[in-house]
Structure 1
Amino acid sequence: MIEPQRETGHRGDDDLLTAGLGLAGLRAMVPPAFAEVANPTAAELRRRAIWNNWRGIADLSASGGYGQVYGSVAGVPGREFSAFATVAGASQPHRVLVQVPDAFDQAKRCVVVTASSGSRGVYGSIAVAGAWGLPKGCAVAYTDKGAGTDYYDIDTHTGVKLDGTRGTLEEALAFRPDVDTGASGVAFKHAHSGDNPEADWGRHVKQAAEFALSALDRAFPQSAPFNFDNTRVIAVGISNGGGAVLRAAELEGEWLDAVVAGEPNIYVPGAGSRTLYDYTTEAALLMPCALLHLPADSLPQPPVRAQAEPLWIARCAALKQSGLVTGDNTKAQAESAYQRLHANGWTDQALTAGALSVGFDLWRAVAVTYASAYARSPIGQHPCGYSFAAQNPDFSPRAATQAERSAWFADGSGIPPGAGVGIVDTKLAPPDFTLPGLQCLRGLPEAPDDSAFKRGLAQTRAAMPRKGLPVVVIHGLDDGLVPPAFSSAPYVATAQAAGRDVAYWQVKHAQHFDGFLALPAYGARYVPVLPYVYAALDQVAARLDGKAGKPADAVIEASPRGTGAVEAVQLAIPAQR
């Protein structure tokens, strides 16, 4: 289960950290090309996946400071070990991958274990964990935590092999769903594995760490065995990856030495705490209307307000018709929607940053996928009738092309829409076409407690980290996708009240997506989160080395760069005691 199935070398013009692209290649506006568009090689897919995942997570703009003020894109030669691993009780595997630099420090054995943010593929945390751990001589272990970009094409019965290329049912595939006769479209692990991956996030992380030790045994047999007693293991992740490493922190045993969680999607019952599904479905319904209450010049672009306003106005009217807001005109309806969100804990800062998720239809995308995962829905049995497929311009489903299928591993985000795969909504109806489906999604938590959905949702509840385990939680106070008031704040309060070793860094003027800071309106307004993740890793490592005390709680007075470039002084990194 954890023995390496594939080993590859990456040196010269194909390193571990950037696949040979370097900062200039990562900044390129077009992805690395395939020599044959419909038949890319494993190496081409890997390079493109790394390009996509760097750009999706880090601000690589010329004024963003990456590689100069913070972070590293230095070439790191080494080897990769990859496999499919399956946690006990699961029906589908998750990907595990370990990067072992040639400069691995055998005298100071170090593994950085991480989980992808969002539902990204296995390289989804390379800009988080790889960028910090590899230049320091640590091995870095990754998991897609049971989600990822191993899309299965139902029409051709093809999936993704270990090396990222397409394969048939006669070959070993990363995801092999049950498919009824006559089904069509696209299936993916997060929605259709039948395993509710979020319930096992912590176990995915631990199994990735175990795989790392196995890979190190193979890489350095003369220094074996590598185990949790003689190898330092630090877990780090952001967003869903941050939630995953916190779930790993609650597992029994002293296998982890420290944890750093950035902007984590985490839920523990407490004052203000809400499940991701609860506030996501609420935002999907109400936020398009509520944003009309905020001054037009208060919202960064995109989305372009002039293009979005007609849709937001239509949503206000539909909400009034459904009895979800009050008011006889758009202005009053928008204020009603705003007041409802405000009363439920949404701040103006979260609403402002949340405009990005409205513009990219992210709230609906998350809700559709998670509803399927929590209910463990088979293909074609989504609780609200949704499915996924390649689409025509009018959003009607069609068969995917070979070129589209071949690029899914590299280009997908793990949650459609994207990479040529869209959401098929069987409840579409005028005048606000997506509202009926969203109302169905919002109503699922009202199902009986013994429903599959309710059981799945309950499995997302986190427990406390192991006593004595150093943990640093970092969260931007302007986060509009995973607001800290619903997630990290109640988690930290509960952990600290229970006597756990948890420090909390609250970063002013930071939202959820560093990758969007390359857009001038966002870069001028917000600071990146990654510098604080790297700084927290530095501080926990110094503490483990006995060189410093534990990180302290901090409310960080960061300053956005405005029209200039990021400078270190603007970040106001907290000092270590």
Structure 2
Amino acid sequence: MKAADFVRGDISVTDHRNGDDLLSAGLGLKGLAGAPAPFADPQHPTPVELRRRAIQASWKGIADLGPLGGYGSVYGGVPDVPGREYQAFAWIPGARQPHRVLLQVPDNFDTQRRCLIVTASSGSRGIYGAISLAGAWGLPHGCAVAYTDKGTGAGYFDYADDSGVALDGTRAQRGSKSLEFDPPAIAGSSAIAIKHLHSGDNPEADWGRHVLQAAKFGLAMLDRAYPDQAPFTAQNTRIIATGLSNGGGAVLQAAGLDDEHLLSGVVSLEPNIHAEGQGRALYDYATEASIWLPCALSDERFAHVPFARTPHGDVPPAWTARCASLHAQGRLAGDTPAKQAAQAYEHLRAAGWVDGAMEVSASVTAFDLWRAITAGYASSYMRSGAASMPCGFNYAAPGADGKPATASAAVRAAWWSDGAGIPPGNGIGLFGGMDASSDPSLAGADCLRALWEGQGTDAKTLHASVAATAGRLPRADLPIWIVHGADDGLLPTAFSSEPYVDWLRAQGRRPLYWKVPHAQHFDAFLALPGFGERHLPLMPYGYWALDRLWAHLFEAVAWPTDAPTPQGKPRGKAALEREALGLP
């Protein structure tokens, strides 16, 4: 049996049957969509309770499980899948902190058609972050599924009580157990440290290596699960890489680093990807968006876009204030709010933003995601600690008065299961980067943008870190299918998948690419009133591409040289029907 020599510490092996399966921890579709799974003792949840709620939170954060969304009836499903899980902390050479790896082996694993799905979490989510894509498709097909959190996740470290997260998801004091994230001590600090942002590793530069390590971990654990069938290798086991958003970028990074030819095919959804000199890096257009979009979205053309107006039909006051600030700084010449909004809109159009992406980005802007992303990613790229983030930002538990305080034991206990990876949220606030003006967030946004546009030492450090995240060229015979929503307002296709695909084709590669009409970035947002009726979910298109890859690998169906994009139509106010997807 192979040894996973990149694993340090214990490898946890747990059985999941009889009301506690691999895909939904026994909750089923109805339970996944329901209220948060309870903790008997909120201050001391058990590993079983934490796992169940982590799986539920991962499903609800990614998939549209709403009554109109069609999940489980039009596409997808949540069958009971009993099996085993193998979990450990793995280390990239030279890394300060580990990434978590996990293999799910269903009892119906097909030893005759050996299949391993490898995936990375979306966003900055924890280990189960891709379960609604990779697990939901792979486990019912009899595949084992290997996950990595790619150096992200909600293993937050709280300096207030010197505690982090152990392998089983419970809180533990530093030194008592191996922790998911164990940052250097800071004397007298009560800060909260986030693994993705404060590990000092710039983990995004290693996301592809994390995926390849997870694949190797999967093979090694299959040797342990089926010793009479060993060895499991890339020569006798088909390894399919799939992921979405940051996870989609991670599997494409892995494809460019796969010198050992581990991967048999890749299906990437809405990837955060760029190649050197191709497209725009997320930090570039996110810092631009955080400054300009609030004003641009004030333009009358966005008056009927969801989240672009208050419930009373007004422009949000903070957005009007942004127009005034940009005018006062001389960046907008218009002498009325309407003229200023129109000029901000034209500024973004000139920078490559298209109307569909700007319309949907109203949701990203309204939820203040640009500030969360840019403040966090700057810290990761600068390799800063929790007490030395760029531009004065920091994380702490908010008190009753909104000021930094100390988190309660119950709040801390739920971080691992409930947290999305980058705060604010789940009892952690993002502080700093503000001033006392009528537009308090602009100071921090300008500071973060200056790290991209500047020429100083800090700017050079940040640019070097971003450059290290660029995707590399995959081998010529690797099947790749990229699926991206045409209306993605977080990772616009014009900045990410389109220039990447063009680059691949210019280099002689033949990726399949679907730019799906009416699909946007967050399927989970489709359950929000007034939003889902304008759009389609992206997940069914990913499942469909995986089906085609399966047929190619296991049924000798020729890999297509071209795949016309399905022309669906918006869901409308009624429940989703399959015909709306436009799939064959």
Report the equivalent of 1:90. 95
Report the equivalent of 1:431. 438
Distance verdict in 2 for CA 1:275–1:449, change over 3 Å: farther
**Alignment map for 1:173-572 (pairs within 5 Å):** 173-251=179-257, 252-270=259-277, 273-295=279-301, 297-301=303-307, 304=310, 306=312, 309-448=316-455, 451-551=460-560, 552-572=562-582
Task: Tell me the CA shift for residue 302 of structure 1.
Answer: 7.7
Task: Tell me the CA shift for residue 2 of structure 1.
Answer: 3.7
Identity %: 51
Query: Using the alignment, how far apart are the partners of 2:78 and 2:530 within structure 1?
Result: 25
Query: Using the alignment, how far apart are the partners of 2:375 and 2:477 within structure 1?
Result: 38
Task: Tell me the CA shift for residue 467 of structure 1.
Answer: 1.5
CA contact (8 A) 1:296 1:305 kept: no
Query: Using the alignment, how far apart are the partners of 1:294 and 1:485 within structure 2?
Result: 24
Query: Using the alignment, how far apart are the partners of 1:330 and 1:100 within structure 2?
Result: 58
In the alignment, structure 1 residue 27 sits paired with structure 2 residue 27? no
CA contact (8 A) 1:384 1:441 kept: yes
Distance verdict in 2 for CA 1:16–1:343, change over 3 Å: same
* 1:107-142 deviations in Å (ceiling 9; x for gaps): 111100000000000000000100000001000011
CA contact (8 A) 1:2 1:214 kept: no
Task: Tell me the CA shift for residue 300 of structure 1.
Answer: 1.5
CA contact (8 A) 2:386 2:395 kept: no
* 1:376-397 deviations in Å (ceiling 9; x for gaps): 1122111211110111254321
AA at the equivalent of 1:559: K
CA contact (8 A) 1:179 1:379 kept: no
Which residue, 133, 137, 143 being the options, matches 1:132? 137
CA contact (8 A) 1:429 1:436 kept: no
1:520 match: secondary structure? coil
Query: Using the alignment, how far apart are the partners of 2:446 and 2:303 within structure 1?
Result: 30
Distance verdict in 2 for CA 1:302–1:340, change over 3 Å: closer
Question: 5+ residue gaps in structure 2?
Answer: 1-5
1:563 match: secondary structure? coil
Distance verdict in 2 for CA 1:335–1:96, change over 3 Å: same
CA contact (8 A) 2:194 2:386 kept: no
Question: 5+ residue gaps in structure 1?
Answer: none
Report the equivalent of 1:55. 60
Distance verdict in 2 for CA 1:304–1:411, change over 3 Å: farther
2:285 match: secondary structure? helix
Distance verdict in 2 for CA 1:35–1:303, change over 3 Å: farther
Once the two structures are overlaid, the 10-residue window that deviates more, 449-458 or 502-511, is 449-458
Distance verdict in 2 for CA 1:2–1:20, change over 3 Å: same
Task: Tell me the CA shift for residue 154 of structure 1.
Answer: 0.8
Task: Tell me the CA shift for residue 297 of structure 1.
Answer: 4.4
1:142 match: secondary structure? strand
Distance verdict in 2 for CA 1:415–1:181, change over 3 Å: same
Report the equivalent of 2:20. 14
Task: Tell me the CA shift for residue 427 of structure 1.
Answer: 3.8
Task: Tell me the CA shift for residue 318 of structure 1.
Answer: 1.1
Q: TM-score w.r.t. structure 2 length?
A: 0.95
1:521 match: secondary structure? coil
Query: Using the alignment, how far apart are the partners of 2:482 and 2:427 within structure 1?
Result: 35
Task: Tell me the CA shift for residue 209 of structure 1.
Answer: 0.5
Report the equivalent of 2:117. 112
* 1:328-362 deviations in Å (ceiling 9; x for gaps): 11111111111111111111110110011111110
Task: Tell me the CA shift for residue 210 of structure 1.
Answer: 0.7
Q: How many residues align?
A: 572
1:113 match: secondary structure? strand
After superposing on structure 2, the runs of 4+ consecutive aligned residues of structure 1 that deviate more than 4 Å are 305-308
Report the equivalent of 2:3. none
1:159 match: secondary structure? strand
Task: Tell me the CA shift for residue 323 of structure 1.
Answer: 2.4
Query: Using the alignment, how far apart are the partners of 1:301 and 1:361 within structure 2?
Result: 12
CA contact (8 A) 1:161 1:167 kept: yes
Once the two structures are overlaid, the 10-residue window that deviates more, 132-141 or 496-505, is 496-505
CA contact (8 A) 1:386 1:424 kept: yes
- Cα RMSD, aligned residues only: 1.5
* 1:216-236 deviations in Å (ceiling 9; x for gaps): 111111111111111110000
Once the two structures are overlaid, the 10-residue window that deviates more, 59-68 or 232-241, is 59-68
AA at the equivalent of 1:104: F
CA contact (8 A) 1:395 1:424 kept: no
Query: Using the alignment, how far apart are the partners of 1:25 and 1:191 within structure 2?
Result: 32
Task: Tell me the CA shift for residue 314 of structure 1.
Answer: 0.8
CA contact (8 A) 2:433 2:445 kept: no
2:430 match: secondary structure? strand
Query: Using the alignment, how far apart are the partners of 1:427 and 1:183 within structure 2?
Result: 21
Which residue, 155, 158, 163 being the options, matches 1:158? 163
Task: Tell me the CA shift for residue 295 of structure 1.
Answer: 3.5
Distance verdict in 2 for CA 1:303–1:177, change over 3 Å: farther
CA contact (8 A) 2:433 2:443 kept: no
CA contact (8 A) 2:106 2:143 kept: yes
Report the equivalent of 2:42. 37
AA at the equivalent of 1:531: P
CA contact (8 A) 1:506 1:554 kept: no
